[in-house]
Amino acid sequence: MRSFILSRLAAMVGILIALTAVVFVLQRISPLDPVHAQLGGSASRAAIEARRHELGLDRPVPVQFWHYLTAAAHGDFGTSYRTRRPVSTDLAHFVPATLELALYAMLIALVLAALLAFASTLRWPGAGVLRAVLFAGASTPMFLLGIVGLIVFYQQLGWVPANGRSAVAGAPTEPTGLLTVDGLLAGRFDVVTDAFAHLILPATVIALGPAVAIGRTLWSSLLTDVNSDYARTAKAKGLGPTRILLRHVLRNCVGAALSMTGLQVGLMFSGVLVVEQVFGWPGIGQYIAQSIPVADFPAIAGVTLLLGAVYVVVNTVVDLLQGAADPRIVAA
């Protein structure tokens, strides 16, 4: 097990270094000079040379990459051309909103996936309706699904707010930056309920696609194992279908669903960036949307490295969970 963990961690580090190298090369071949972008077109030649030396741009390329890599490892992604602040400072402001939205979207996706898989395998009443609704939602583009959701649940029914993250003035944002958590810690239940009201629609829009992908994968595995010899033996002992599924079948089937969950994380974050624009959510989707038109490469690179690191780390955790769930993977 130790060698399995070490190999997965080593692979994670290698992928992160490769990702950083790709971003570094893209920055090198970009036609935009970072020094001119920071100092402006009227800067003197002496000021430009001094700033270039300060940034280390007059050093050999391998040295520049090493400094870029070590700085990125410490969370230093440079200075935004647009905001004139460190990119890490900007990300610290925008990331909590995106993180909260993504966490609740994944939670909803896992719940819906489990319902889809169990209801279809055990043939619960209404399983066909649930499948139809989830498949229809997952087949609809996220931006269109978000707009339809706003029309129905905000404009027509008035059940949810239109946009933004909170309507409560002075909502606590410490220590985590997650309104649902910070509001709970501060005893501000008005903040918590308002945050949930703002979260539920965009999180559900993001969750439908991953829910169907994960649910179908789990459903397929359950259908294969529910008729296996050990499941029939458990049934012969008098165990009910639900108990057999949860106690005997699920652990053998969860590996494929975990793999699909890891793959869906990257797609989910791409969906988050789109949905944030539809719902006016103040996260990194808004930040990157403002940075791309002005070619703010440090900000774009910072978001790319951050999302890439999240994706790689999540998939490494999924690999480790698969090894824990199925010892045959570790022994392979």
Query: Tens digit of pLDDT for each residue in 66-87?
Result: 888 888 888 888 888 788 888 8
Residue 332 clears pLDDT 60, i.e. is over it:
no
Secondary structure of residue 78 in the 3-state scheme: coil
Residues in the chain: 332
Confirm if 114 and 276 have CB atoms less than 8 A apart.
no
The mean of the pLDDT values for the chain is 81
φ, ψ of residue 176 to 5 degrees: the values are -95, -25
d(CA 76, CA 22): 17
d(CA 100, CA 219): 28
Confirm if 38 and 51 have CB atoms less than 8 A apart.
yes
Residue 28 clears pLDDT 70, i.e. is over it:
yes
112 or 293, which is more confident: 112
Residue 235 clears pLDDT 80, i.e. is over it:
no
Secondary structure of residue 79 in the 3-state scheme: strand
What was the pLDDT predicted at 190? 87
Domain extent listing, the chain: 2-73, 87-331
Confirm if 163 and 149 have CB atoms less than 8 A apart.
no
Among 21-30, 86-95, 222-231, the range scoring the smallest mean pLDDT is: 222-231
Residue 280 clears pLDDT 80, i.e. is over it:
yes
Average pLDDT over residues 251-268: 76
Average pLDDT over residues 7-35: 82
If pLDDT is split at 50, 70 and 90, which confidence band does 238 have?
Answer: low
Fold topology of 87-331:
MetI-like fold (1.10.3720)
DSSP for 262-285, written as a single string: HHHHHHHHHHHHHHHHHHT--SHH
Among 201-210, 262-271, 285-294, the range scoring the smallest mean pLDDT is: 262-271
Q: pTM for this one? A: 0.80
Q: Which uninterrupted H or E stretch holds 148? A: helix 142-149
